[in-house]
Structures are given as structure tokens and as C-alpha cells.
Chains A and B, each alone.
Chain A
Amino acid sequence: MLVVKNLHASVGDKEILKGIDLRVNPGEVHAIMGPNGSGKSTLASVLAGSEKFTVTGGEVTFLGKDLLSMPIEDRARMGLFLGFQYPVEIPGVTMANFMKIAVNEHRKYRGEEPLTAGEFLRMMREKSAIVELDPKLTSRAVNEGFSGGEKKKNEIFQMAMLEPRLSILDETDSGLDIDALRIVATGVTRLHTGNNATVVITHYQRLLDYIVPDYVHVLYKGRIIYSGDKSLALKLEKEGYDWLINDYREEQQ
């Protein structure tokens, strides 16, 4: 579904991604971990098409298409979803209105008719239940005055609405209390099918108690230096990254 080959990206003169290789198949859950500043969020942003970064090398195919040549909105419409670490506020634009436009843009891209108001409202009710999002929030402006937990629930609500093929969740667990973490993580798991895939970026193993990954990758200084199964996350939780980083340094020398 997603094939990343030797991806390099910079911000200004500074190279952040230094050759990423990653392959994600339908039905899989991947976790990306790694110390602060290793390039995890950059990877997510570059795949989504953020113009803050310049891709300086490598290639990415998504569902057989050259992802890097597509505008941001087409990547989204094809089914690439990014759950933001810091969702932005859009004053005066209701969540319902925002989602209605977004959902219908996705439908148009697939050659489907726009939803009727009734269909849309029903869909919103169903999907907001998945993350126990207060239905009242959908009549408020996008993320405006939302608590940290509500913002993250709202990201997963949007994921539920847009039914993406590939979801990249950038530290969706940060800033959540234990109950909110459970709700958000359970929501993500319920949305998982054999036909879609999820990449979660996280610092904490506890998220992975709910969202059980098939693969865990460790990103360090712009490269994936180690990949393993879910037991790797447990080991990292206990022992930290030092042992991996030291091994990696030795290898490099």
C-alpha cells in the first residue's frame, strides 16, 4: 500500500530525513518510536505533503501512485490521513460544516454523489460515538476552545468520517489522561480493518497495549535504525534507546 524508498527531506539547509525505507501493507499496524528530534513528525508531514519540508531524494508510492508528485488534497482524497499532533483552530467554521465539505470532497474524488443532509447527520452521529465525542462539539468551531483530549478525539472522529486507507497518527496519545487514551486508542482499533493500515507515532508503549502493532520501528537521526515486533516496544519502555543507539554508533564506525 505504502512503499517508501530512501526518502530524504530537509527544512532549509538542515537534512532531517536521511534515507527512510518503509513498507506498509493493508491490514498492518506499524509503530514508529524514537527519541525527540529524530524526525518522526517530519516523516508524517512529508508523507502528507507539508510544504515546510523539501524532499531531496527518494521515492514514495501510495496505492501504486507516485505520492510525492501529488498535491496535499489529492493525497488526502486518495485515502491518506494524518492525525495531527497539534490540531489547528479554524474560528467561525463549525466542525460539522468542515467535515461535510471534507467528506464530500473525498466522495467527489471517488466519483460518488455528495451525501444528503440527513445521511451526513446520521454518519456524524455514528462516528462521533466511536470516540465518545460529545455531539455538541460538532456544532462548535473547528478545535476552537477544545480541551487537549477533545482535540485528539476530534482527530480520530475525522479519521472515522473520512475512512482513509492509511492513517498516520502523530503522537495522538500525547497530552491524554488514562481514560481519554483508552477511548482514543479503542476508537483507532475499532476503525482498523483488513483493508486499511495504521502508522502510529508514539513515545509510549502504553498506547500499544490498545493498538497492537505488527511492526515497531525505531527512528534515530533521520533513519530507521531498528525494526522488530511488539516486544521491541516493551523492551524500549524498560531500557530506553541507549542500547540501540550505542549499537548503531558502533555499526556506523
Chain B
Amino acid sequence: MANDTKNIIEEIESGEYKYGFTSSIETETIARGLDEEVVRLISRKKGEPEWLLESRLKAYRHWLKMPVPQWAHLDIPDIDFQDIIYYAAPKPRKSLSSMDEVDPELKRTFDKLGIPLEEQMALSGVAVDAVMDSVSVKTTFRQTLAEKGIIFCSISEAVKEYPELIRKYLGSVVPYTDNYYAALNAAVFSDGSFCYIPKGVRCPMELSTYFRINAEGTGQFERTLIVADEGSYVSYLEGCTAPRRDENQLHAAVVEIVVERDAEVKYSTVQNWYPGDKEGRGGIYNFVTKRGLCRENARLSWTQVETGSAITWKYPSCVLLGDNSVGEFYSVAMTNNFQQADTGTKMIHLGRNTRSRIVSKGISAGRSQNAYRGLVKVSRDADNARNYSQCDSLLIGDKCGAHTFPVIDSRNPSAVLEHEATTSKISEEQLFYCNQRGLSTEEAVGLIVNGYAREVLSKLPMEFAVEAQKLLSISLEGSVG
């Protein structure tokens, strides 16, 4: 731990966003702009069946009629949707059939990011699907997983190889009518990951998708679909980085999770998209829709550590449809400099004896604005629903803002709903105490923040937790004077 801390300090001193490099990979892009022809072009490039093209077009036409959502506590500049490139793909030298054929520059990029694409790195026990710009470049461990009947591949491949599963589940949890960015995603999504765990199977390793934006001027619209069939279990990790650029890049993803009867899914995210510079120039707009549907006795747990992006707009949610299903949301959202975040969750209790738990830890520093927005909804038939919500805000400095918008909508008198909220600052006394024991102020703040976020970090898989701890300290760079 002390070594980690030492490294953190060194990293704080040596630089800011360490994933800000670009890779010179030959990229195939289409022209900027969006119309029906672009939607058709994307579909054609991916060799998609007619039904998927139709569904894209329906989504596109619906999107045209929708207003841009304005309700979030965010100051979002007008986005020119005609100035975005909707498809960018690293040019493959030929069709990829083995690791050796992957562009060495691409391999180097993922090496730099610490993403093990080589199967030899089996030691780390994580199967990875890497998505560069718009397309999935490599999925590892497919053979091992296939032996258990687990499908883990890019969504484009899944469309070709498992059309009946995709047709059944795609858009079943987040329909294209859901919201503005979900509609846009349904129209132009280019790739993402698909994962299917068969009945009764416990996935033996963590599955991981790694998203990377590389090409300039592009938007990234991935689509992730996870189906955990009856009685199965999977733990899924998602990580994101992007190069440092003065322009803002749009990332509008959709994640859909179907948790069938008695199944359990854990979904962990460490979101570290480029947050923009100290003056608030550049950075990713991260507008994401994530939702899971829980059948009887199912359990879905979202854990997120959000440190990146110029603007974050996301509310990973649980629809607790089946009786006795459980939804959980553990979140650390940290904003610094001019970052803005409006994030939280929705717990929709539909079944009887459904339970949900929300633990949200916001950390604001610099001139950033950080909002928690949550909805706990208990329907008329959801007897004995229970929710516990805890929303804490930590302020560092006096120019940042923390806001909470918790909404409770209960239609059933048997519901038991608890809500706790705190707002705190790192006190001078805490810093003095740490300094007096020989810790520098940066070190002390990193330690106090990690302690504050501990309950959430402890939900992450081990290696991810260590990474997230470092990230929290690094993201605070320059926030204490």
C-alpha cells in the first residue's frame, strides 16, 4: 500500500491524464454527418441483416423527432450532430483469425493501457473484449469460455452468429424510444460486446470490455448486451480511456442486461475518459444509458467509479420485475477542475419482496459540479419492497458544487424506504493530523478520499480496486493548494 501511495505521488507529480496519447493506426472513417444514408452505410459495412437495418432506421427517425434532454443539472454546449464521424475502424490488414495478425501498433496501444490481449496473460484471469473507436478488435479467451457454453464476443459477430439471441434481447431492456441518446445509439451503434451465460453456469473468470477512443472527430456508440440465463452468474468489468484533445468527443453508449430467474450479474465500471484540461477545454461527453432487468430471485449489482469525462450523464438502473429480486448501485463519482457529472440510479420495484440498495459517494473539487440523481419507484403491486439509499457528498475547496436530487415515488403502503444523506468537507483538523504523522497534504487528501469511498471500492474486484484507488488520487491532482 505504501508503495502504491508512493507511486501515486510520483504520478501526481509527473503528469496529468496518463492515457492521453494517440496511436498512429490506419483508420477507416466515413464522412462527418448523419442521415439515413449514413445509417444504411454503417449497417452495410457491418454486413447486417435487413431486420437490424430496419430497427436502426426506426430509431433514427424517432430520434429526429425527440428534443435534446435539458433536465439534468448540467451545462451542456450545443452539440452539432452533423459534425461527428459516426464510424471509425482501425483498418485490418486482413481478416483477423489469430492474435499474430493484429496490427502491432494496435497491440502496442493496448499494451500501453495495460490491457492483456495476449492469451499468455491468462494469469490475470480476465477475458477481454477490446473496442477501439467503433469496432471490437479482439476478444480473448473465447475458447476457454466456449467450453462452458459462454458466448463472449463483439456484438457485430453476435449479430451474425447468434441472430436469434440478439433479436430476442437487443432493445428489450432499453428500447430506442427510451431517451434521446439511447435512440441515437440504436441508430448508429457500431460495436460493443455481447455476453451470454447459459443456464446454471458460473462464469469462471471476470469478463471485461475495454473501450478506447482513438480517432479524431469521432463519436463512440457502443452497445453492450449481457444475458445471464437462469441460475447463472457473471462478473463484468468495463474500462474506458481516450486521447487528450481540445475538441469534445461524444460517447453515447447503451448497456442492457437481462438477469433471468435466480441469476446474478455484477457490472463494474471504471470510467476514465479524458476529462478535459485544467481550463475545461476538451474532454469526453459521456451520455450513457445502462439498465438491467431482473426476473424472479435475480440479483443485479452496478458498481461504478467515475473519474473521467468532461460531462457525465448516466443512471445505471435496475428494473426489479421478478419477485424477490435485488438491485444494487454503488457509485463513486469524482469531478475536478471544470468537470460536470449528473449521475445516479433508478430502482424500479415491480415485483413483490424486491429489495434495492443505493450507496452513492460524490467527490467534488476544483470548480466542478457533481450531482446525484436517483429515483426509487415502488409500484402498486410491489408488496414489501425495501430500499436503502445513502448519498454522501465530499467537497474539496470552496468553488465546487455538490447537489442531490433523490426522488421517491411509492404507490404501495407496505414499502419500507430509507434515505440518508451527508455532506462533508475534508477538515483542516484531518489534514493537520495526517501532516503531523508525516504525510504530505496530497497524500493525506488521497488517503481521506479513498477512505471515504472505501465502501464502494470494496465492491470492486481486487485489481480493479487498486486501479481505482490510484485513479482517485491522481484525479485530485492540483485540487489542494
* Contact A114 B432, beta carbon cutoff 8 Å: no
* Residues of B in contact with A (beta carbons under 8 Å apart): 1-3, 5, 427-430, 432-441, 443, 447-448, 450-455
* Contact A114 B2, beta carbon cutoff 8 Å: yes
Give the docked Cα–Cα distance between A98 and B448 (Å).
10
* Contact A91 B439, beta carbon cutoff 8 Å: no
Contact partner, B1, options A48, A100, A109, Cβ 8 Å: A100
Contact partner, B438, options A51, A77, A97, A141, Cβ 8 Å: A77
* Contact B436 A88, beta carbon cutoff 8 Å: no
Residues of chain B contacted by A106 (CB below 8 angstroms): 438
* Contact A76 B438, beta carbon cutoff 8 Å: yes
Nearest-Cβ distance from residue B429 to partner chain A, whole angstroms: 5
Contact partner, B451, options A72, A93, A109, Cβ 8 Å: A93
A240 in the interface, Cβ–Cβ < 8 Å? no
Q: Mark A69-81, 1 if CB is under 8 A from B, else 0.
A: 0011101110001
Give 23 pairs: A residue, B residue, CB < 8 Å, sorted on A: A49-B435, A50-B432, A51-B428, A51-B432, A71-B435, A72-B435, A72-B436, A76-B437, A88-B429, A88-B433, A90-B451, A91-B451, A91-B452, A92-B450, A92-B452, A92-B453, A92-B455, A93-B448, A93-B450, A93-B451, A105-B439, A105-B440, A162-B438
Residues of chain A contacted by B427 (CB below 8 angstroms): 88
Nearest-Cβ distance from residue B86 to partner chain A, whole angstroms: 43
Chain B, Cβ-Cβ closest to A77: B438
Chain B contact surface mostly: helix
Residues of chain B contacted by A48 (CB below 8 angstroms): 432, 436
Give the docked Cα–Cα distance between A92 and B451 (Å).
4
Residues of chain B contacted by A71 (CB below 8 angstroms): 435
A2 in the interface, Cβ–Cβ < 8 Å? no
* Contact B450 A52, beta carbon cutoff 8 Å: no
Once A and B bind, how many residue pairs between them come within 8 Å at the CB atom?
A: 82
* Contact B440 A73, beta carbon cutoff 8 Å: yes
Nearest-Cβ distance from residue B436 to partner chain A, whole angstroms: 5
Nearest-Cβ distance from residue B338 to partner chain A, whole angstroms: 28
* Contact B2 A100, beta carbon cutoff 8 Å: yes
* Contact A76 B435, beta carbon cutoff 8 Å: yes
Give the docked Cα–Cα distance between A105 and B435 (Å).
11
* Contact B437 A158, beta carbon cutoff 8 Å: yes
* Contact B433 A87, beta carbon cutoff 8 Å: yes
* Contact A102 B1, beta carbon cutoff 8 Å: no
Chain B, Cβ-Cβ closest to A84: B433
Nearest-Cβ distance from residue A95 to partner chain B, whole angstroms: 11
> Given known contacts A51-B428, A52-B428, A106-B438, is B433 in contact with A101 (CB within 8 Å)?
no
Contact partner, B432, options A72, A100, A101, A109, Cβ 8 Å: A72
Residues of chain B contacted by A75 (CB below 8 angstroms): 436
How many residues in A have their beta carbons less than 8 Å from beta carbons of B?
33
Give the docked Cα–Cα distance between A114 and B6 (Å).
11
Residues of chain A contacted by B2 (CB below 8 angstroms): 100-101, 104, 114
Nearest-Cβ distance from residue A43 to partner chain B, whole angstroms: 15
Give the docked Cα–Cα distance between A205 and B2 (Å).
41
Nearest-Cβ distance from residue A29 to partner chain B, whole angstroms: 21
Residues of chain A contacted by B434 (CB below 8 angstroms): 90, 98
Contact partner, A90, options B428, B430, B455, Cβ 8 Å: B430
Task: Give the interface centre of A76, A101, A104 by most chain B CB atoms within 10 Å.
Answer: A101
Q: A49-B436, A90-B434, A98-B434 are in contact. List 8 more A-B contacts (CB 8 A).
A: A48-B436, A73-B438, A75-B436, A91-B451, A92-B454, A102-B439, A105-B443, A162-B438
Q: Which residues of chain A (47-78) have a CB below 8 Å from chain B?
A: 48-52, 71-73, 75-77
Give the docked Cα–Cα distance between A141 and B427 (Å).
16
Nearest-Cβ distance from residue A98 to partner chain B, whole angstroms: 7
> Given known contacts A90-B447, A93-B447, A93-B448, is B454 in contact with A102 (CB within 8 Å)?
no
* Contact A90 B437, beta carbon cutoff 8 Å: no
Give the docked Cα–Cα distance between A238 and B264 (Å).
71
Give the docked Cα–Cα distance between A84 and B440 (Å).
18
Residues of chain A contacted by B433 (CB below 8 angstroms): 84, 87-88, 90
Chain B, Cβ-Cβ closest to A81: B436
Give the docked Cα–Cα distance between A97 and B454 (Å).
13
Q: Mark A93-128, 1 if CB is under 8 A from B, else 0.
A: 100011011101110010000100000000000000
Task: Give the interface centre of B5, B447, B451 by most chain A CB atoms within 10 Å.
Answer: B451
Give the docked Cα–Cα distance between A105 and B439 (Å).
7
Give the docked Cα–Cα distance between A90 and B432 (Å).
12
Nearest-Cβ distance from residue B479 to partner chain A, whole angstroms: 18
A82 in the interface, Cβ–Cβ < 8 Å? yes
Residues of chain A contacted by B443 (CB below 8 angstroms): 101, 105
